[in-house]
A and B are shown apart, each in its own frame.
Chain A
């Protein structure tokens, strides 16, 4: 009954490969996110989707392509992996928010290591 689940949890791959990370939420939220946590633990937003529509794209290389088949899923595909892509990628979800702030629920993270 995990609220936000990501797969795989660990991913080790070679430079130049293409890989995907999947995310699913069962909270009924309409907004999903990808955040990247680098080796210095900085967490930075990459993408945000609301009801399958891209609403935030934070200057991420176009090798990264998010795909949202429905509002419960947001997958991240990465082409031509580079060493600098090594990081922990967190998926999150929330309601879009009305009068108050949206509270994000995070997945456990997917640690990507590019060799």
Chain B
């Protein structure tokens, strides 16, 4: 079975500082990996995805993530935090070719950006 662990339920950074949100996965086969963002009272929005092509994936709003197979990690980074980045971030994994496209989510990390 696939699973996702997000280290740190809350992360706080200063505006302009580096954002690092950690995600480790467990999968029996090379997975698809995703980061979603949820703003208050809104649905989830896809930030970026990894699909076994380039290991460094660029997403929207300046975010990127690097797939590291040896570390089973897919950490999300952004060089300079902006106030508008404050939200909850979810890492998710799915199994390529699995009928039904089931996404397994981590528990989420709330990002707080201080001015």
Contacts and interface: CB of A to CB of B under 8 A. Distances in A.
A103 interface: yes
A75 interface: no
Contacts of B42: 108-109
Given A101-B32, A106-B43, A108-B43, A48 B102 contact: yes
B101 A97 contact: yes
A109 B102 contact: no
A102 B103 CA distance: 10
Contact of B99 (A33, A55, A108, A109): A55
A107 B43 contact: yes
A56 B41 contact: no
Q: Which size class do A's interface residues fall under?
A: 20 to 34
Nearest to A31: B101
Interface string B48-73: 01010000000000000000000000
A68 interface: no
A106 B45 contact: yes
B96 interface: yes
B105 A94 contact: no
Interface of A: 4, 31, 33, 40-45, 48, 50, 55-56, 58, 90, 92, 94, 96-97, 100-104, 106-109
